A = this chain, B = another copy of it.
Amino acid sequence: MTCNSSIKIGFIGLNSKNTLAVRTHFQAIFQVSSLFEISAIYNDNIEDSLDVIDRLKLQDATAYPSLKEFVSISSIDMVVVTSSGEPIFGNVMSVLDNIRECTNQIRYIFFEWSLNFSIEQTELIVNETRQLGIQTIVSLQSRKSPYIVRAKELIDDGSIGNINSIEVAGNGNWFGYERKQKSPEYIFDIESRRDLVSYCFGHTIDALQYLTGSYFSTINAMIFNNIPEQTLVDEQGRSLGIKVAKNVPDHLLFQGKLIKGNVPVSCTIKGGKPTKKFTKNLVIDIHGTKGDLKIEGDAGFIELSNLVLYHSGVKVDVAPESPDSQANGQVIYDNNEEVLEFFHFRNYNALVGNMVKMYQAIANYDAIIADKFTTYPTPVQSPVKTEDKISLMQGFQMDGFPTLMDALVLYRLVESVYRSNAIGSTLNVSNISQ
């Protein structure tokens, strides 16, 4: 184990076409470059790897022609799996096979949420990685948003009393009346299921479950494709006079009951560029017996957007766990009993910032694990890769990071949403988190 040196990363799928991975993972790693180092790149076409190494000036990175060499020769500690749309499951299985068979020190695999594996694929990877003692991480990074963290603290410390109702409304940019000519094609491929439901709803409802500390017991969903044709537009939004067919959803209606407190939750996700004039494009209203929280964003992507958090409720004396967010909370009104405050970091780049916090959480975890095993009273004789060492699931804990098991629960919820719509039924989903 490399305890005091940086964690070496090998990327699968980082290339010039994968702009979101560049704008999130690469930029985030750049900001925590004392903790992480990009050492290896694999793409199915090695030219893509050489190209991205050149463009991003990754002087410490090597392009590998095969996943076997990527795993066995590269000396990486962590694999980061991203994709700009091409199927990726085969590569993941190949990596796992090679980890099993080759000498290597890989301890972490970091998956994009939007890889959108099927339930069966995810279950397989969860089991394989568990057996191999590989720690998984999934980019449900809104859990690391300072606004979500602060809101969760306010809920947990009783500042709004008991939650008794929630309303969520979000926008999914790609799925409206217009389509940018340069949009990724897989977004509009119904088979890829990287759509309004899996992507936009998935991230938003994960944040909500995380905030409230509860999964759903009961759900109902209706999915719409009311915009069967989109108008192609250029980067400036000017119509190109061409219509293209759209067969992916442009609206989701979702409602359900949280297990904890039987809380009613109403959620709508709407396709299209931000157009609402009297509401923000992301609004989460959480009502409690002693107050309210409101989370707002200009864009409908909770994991990528800078947000504003409003809190109205009671002042609870709790030792501040995150002093910086406390300091940034601006108390407008406080008569000892009631408090009205808001939290906003004007220059917070959420696109990168939430991902930086993910990588920091991994580095923290790595340090704790290393310490735990090096200071263990009796020297550990068992092989280094054991199930004991991995965090199977973050669940609703503040520490750590979401794992593939968290993603599996969420994939099952997304699957239930499609199914509720398809069969026209309210579904009991109490057991999907088990």
Contact = CB atoms under 8 A, between A and B. Distances in A.
A112 interface: no
A62 interface: no
Interface string A265-285: 111101000011111000001
B294 A278 contact: yes
B264 A266 contact: no
Nearest to A423: B426
A425 interface: yes
A253 interface: yes
Contact of A278 (B224, B275, B312, B425): B312
A144 interface: no
B270 A278 contact: no
Contacts of A164: 226, 251, 270
A157 B188 CA distance: 34
A329 B164 CA distance: 37
Contact of A426 (B169, B251, B425): B425
Contact of A264 (B268, B285, B287, B292): B268
Given A220-B222, A222-B218, A264-B253, A340 B169 contact: no
A180 to B, nearest CB: 18
A237 interface: no
Interface stretch (A203-211, A254-262, A409-417): A254-262
Given A165-B251, A255-B220, A278 B285 contact: yes
Interface in A176-222: 177, 218, 220, 222
A268 B312 contact: no
Given A169-B167, A270-B287, A425-B424, A222 B257 contact: yes
A312 B165 contact: no
Counting chain B CB atoms within 10 Å of each CB, which of A218, A220, A270, A312 scores highest?
Answer: A220
A222 B254 CA distance: 11
B285 A279 contact: yes
Interface centre among A251, A264, A420 (most CB of B within 10 A): A264
A2 interface: no
A292 B251 CA distance: 17
Contacts of A426: 220, 222, 420, 424-426
A55 to B, nearest CB: 40
Nearest to A272: B164
Nearest to A253: B255
B264 A222 contact: yes
A177 B264 CA distance: 16
Interface in A336-364: 340
A289 B253 CA distance: 19
A291 interface: yes
A310 interface: yes
A161 B35 CA distance: 53
Interface string A130-165: 000000000000000000000000000000000011
A412 to B, nearest CB: 19
Contacts of A169: 167, 266
B222 A270 contact: no
A409 B424 CA distance: 22
Contacts of A289: 177
A292 B276 contact: yes
Nearest to A310: B278
Nearest to A251: B264
Contact of A266 (B266, B285, B312): B266
A373 to B, nearest CB: 47
Contacts of A276: 285, 287, 292
A165 B255 contact: no
A310 B277 CA distance: 10
A310 B262 CA distance: 34
Given A164-B251, A277-B292, 16 more contacts: A164-B226, A165-B268, A218-B424, A222-B257, A222-B426, A224-B262, A251-B264, A253-B255, A253-B256, A253-B265, A255-B266, A266-B268, A270-B287, A276-B287, A278-B294, A426-B426
8 contacts: A164-B226, A167-B167, A220-B222, A220-B426, A253-B256, A277-B340, A278-B312, A279-B294
